[in-house]
A and B are shown apart, each in its own frame.
Chain A
Amino acid sequence: MSYFVRRIFFSFFVIVAVAVLTFVIMRLLPGDPLTTWLGDRPTQEQIDKARRELGLDQPLYVQGWKYIGNVARGDFGRSLRTRRPVWDELKEKFAATFELTSLAMFFCLLFGIPVGIAAARHPDSPWARLEKFLSLSGVAIPVFWLGMLLQILLAGKLNWLPLQGRGVLPPPEHSYTGLLLLDALLNLEYDTFADALQHIFMPALALSLASFGIITRSVRSAMGQVLHKEYIRTARAFGVPQKRILFVHALKNALIPVITVSGLVYGYLLGGTFLIERVFDWPGLGQLAVMSILTNDMPVVSGVALLYAFVYTLINLALDLFYLWIDPRITKNAV
Chain B
Amino acid sequence: MFRNRYTKTFYLSSGYLLLLALLALLAGGLTPYPQDAGNVMHFTERLLPPSLSHPFGTDSLGRDILTLVLFGARLSLMAALGVVGLALVIGIPLGLLAGLKGRWLDDLIMRVCDVFLAFPPLLLPVILAAALGPNLKNAIIAVAVSWFPWYTRILRAQILTVRHLPYITAARSAGASDIWLMWRHILPNSMAPVLVQATLDMGYAILAVAGLSFIGFGARPPAIEWGLMITASRATFLDFWWTAFFPGLALFITVFAFNLSGEGLKKILATGDES
- The residues of A with any CB-CB pair to B shorter than 8 Å are 10, 13-15, 17-18, 21-22, 25-26, 28-30, 136-137, 139-142, 144-145, 148-149, 151-152, 155-156, 163, 267-268, 270-272, 274-275, 278, 286, 289-290, 293-294, 301, 304-305, 308-309, 312-313
Contact = CB atoms under 8 A, between A and B. Distances in A.
A141 B119 CA distance: 22
A14 B127 contact: no
A295 to B, nearest CB: 11
Contacts of A141: 252, 255
Contacts of B244: 145, 148-149, 152
B203 A140 contact: yes
A283 to B, nearest CB: 15
A145 B238 contact: no
Given A145-B252, A155-B238, A274-B211, A13 B111 contact: yes
B147 interface: no
A10 B115 CA distance: 10
Nearest to B207: A142
A30 B133 contact: yes
10 contacts: A13-B111, A25-B127, A140-B256, A142-B252, A148-B233, A152-B237, A156-B238, A290-B216, A301-B127, A308-B119
A142 B211 contact: yes
Most buried by B among A14, A142, A267, A272: A142
Residue of B120, B123, B233, B244 contacting most chain A CB atoms (<10 Å): B120
B238 A142 contact: no
Contacts of B227: 142
B259 interface: yes
Interface of B: 111, 114-115, 118-123, 126-128, 130-131, 133, 203-204, 207, 210-211, 214-217, 227, 230, 233-234, 237-239, 241, 244-245, 248, 251-252, 255-256, 258-260, 263
B115 A272 contact: no
Contacts of B234: 148
A28 B259 CA distance: 35
Contacts of B203: 140
A305 B214 contact: no
A278 B230 CA distance: 12
A294 B115 contact: no
Interface SS majority for chain A: helix
Contacts of B258: 140
A17 B230 contact: no
A293 B260 CA distance: 36
Given A270-B120, A293-B126, A275 B238 contact: no
Contacts of B239: 156
Contacts of A293: 126-127, 130, 217
Given A26-B127, A270-B120, A289-B126, 16 more contacts: A17-B115, A137-B256, A140-B256, A142-B248, A144-B230, A145-B252, A148-B230, A151-B237, A152-B238, A152-B245, A271-B120, A274-B122, A275-B122, A278-B214, A305-B123, A313-B118
B111 A25 contact: no
